[in-house]
Amino acid sequence: MARKTTTYTVDSEGRDKGKQFQLTEMPATKAEDWAIRAMFALGAANVEIPEGALQLGMASLAEIGIKKLFAVEAAQMRPLLAELMECVELVPNPQKPQVKIKYPVFESQVEEVKTLLLLKWEVLKLHLDFSLAASLSESLGKAVEEAKHKPSMRTSPRSSESL
């Protein structure tokens, strides 16, 4: 099965309006590595990582919350953000979508900071599959609620006083 791709066209006002980009999902091994490094960076920033998050890969980042990535130091985030741009290709002529320019070659073609930020966000959305993340979040939320209402299990023998 092929990796997911999507086309993103800048629709906001500005110098990049109408520019088209093809976004392609990272290979699974690279996405896993990216997610693990992002979670370690979040942990180093004292963001709580739910149990089992590593098994969920990039989907766990949706569970943790993308906004929490802002807790990570810029020096740790820069390489991760740069890797997201490796998933982006500029389509200079939408009439010939097979012709694409890879990043960073197209860097001089993007004129708005907002466009770069939106491209990174769109790549994250492509990887995180928000429908999957929403269902995982709901499932994890139910499991936590159920665990709260179960009686606690004794993990050690009774003290000798009660004998």
Q: What does the pLDDT look like over 64-117, one tens digit per residue?
A: 777 788 888 989 999 999 999 999 999 999 999 899 999 888 888 999 999 999
Domain residues for 28? 5-152
Q: C-alpha distances in angstroms, 46 versus 12, 51, 70, 134?
A: 35, 15, 12, 24
Residue 47 lies in a domain: yes
Based on the structure, what is the number of domains in the chain? Answer: 1
* pLDDT tens for each residue of 138-156: 544 454 455 445 554 444 4
36 band by pLDDT with thresholds 50, 70 and 90:
confident
Residue 72 lies in a domain: yes
Residue 160 lies in a domain: no
Residue 80 lies in a domain: yes
Residue 158 lies in a domain: no
Residue 17 lies in a domain: yes
What are the counts of helices (DSSP H) followed by strands (DSSP E) for the chain?
Answer: 6, 4
Residue 20 lies in a domain: yes
CA 48 from centroid of its chain's CA atoms: 16
